Copies of this chain bind each other. A is one copy, B any other.
Amino acid sequence: MTGACRPPALSLPILMIPTVLLRETIQRALMEDLAGGDLTTEATVAEDTRAVGRAVAQGPLVACGADVFALVFATLDPSVRVERLVNDGTPVERGAGLWFVEGSARSILLGERTALNFVQRLSGIASLARQYVAALPPGSRTRITDTRKTTPGLRALERYAVRCGGAHNHRDALGGGVLIKDNHIEIAGGIRNAVERARARAPHTVRIEVEVESLAMLDEALAAGADIVMLDNFAPEALRTAIERARGRALVEVSGGITLERVAEMGALGVDVVSVGALTHSARASDIALDVTRLGS
């Protein structure tokens, strides 16, 4: 029940969030649409009608969500059979078949919209992530990551979609890493204080990251022993200087207003990480249709 995607630049499978953890999310989504039944299907579709459905890309996209698609229908009706036609993470062209479902026509019609709402969103994110990764220079070691700017309730799924697009994840939550920002610095009384306190408290398994807005702050952060520095809205020249100063002393992450156009530049500069909020907060849904055909007479 764990899915896998094989994104372009990697030969390793990606661990789907365990499907057990999706059950509540899917149950809630089905409740939204079905708590009052389906007036139309009740009236028009006999209980024993059977059908097949084929999810088809209506444009180029990176497929994402096979497990969710399957689990929506399995939650409604364990007798429905679902098959994946492509692995998650695969780029496909318009017209490509993605997933296949067969069973009770009622169950397929009841689950159609909910299943599509999930996979259209996830494929949209995977597709956008892939665009960012593809914009890097060939051979670049720069990593594109997501942020915590995810849709409330769907973070685990959206982070998976980012991985399916060939990008990487940032820390998953406030308890998953240390990221010292301007407010923390001000309240702690300076970068050194903030870093020392974080080092004293945080698990030894996480790195300490500091967001800096100037070269002076960068120097302070490096002196304080930050493991990662996040350069926020640096001008091109300052950015170049900053990267040189940090090289070998800390990982360099760039954030803030990174468009697809500026990604190539970041790669060329040898930035380690570019974090992009738009991956999750502003991806457009991929257009995917479910072609349903009645079986038998």
Contact = CB atoms under 8 A, between A and B. Distances in A.
Contacts of A155: 32-33
Interface stretch (A90-98, A204-212, A231-239, A261-269): A204-212
A36 B174 contact: yes
Copies of this protein in the complex: 6
B187 A44 contact: yes
A245 interface: no
A240 interface: no
B151 A154 contact: yes
B156 A35 contact: yes
A107 B156 contact: no
B204 A168 contact: yes
A206 B204 contact: no
Contact of A175 (B38, B78, B178): B38
A188 to B, nearest CB: 4
Contacts of A152: 25-26, 28-29, 32, 114, 117-118, 121, 153-154
Summarize A's interface: helix, strand, loop or mixed. Answer: mixed
Contacts of A38: 15, 174-175
A240 B256 CA distance: 47
Nearest to A292: B183
A249 to B, nearest CB: 15
Contacts of A81: none
Which are the 9 A-B pairs with shortest beta-carbon distances?
A: A36-B175, A15-B42, A29-B152, A38-B174, A177-B205, A281-B285, A44-B188, A282-B284, A44-B184
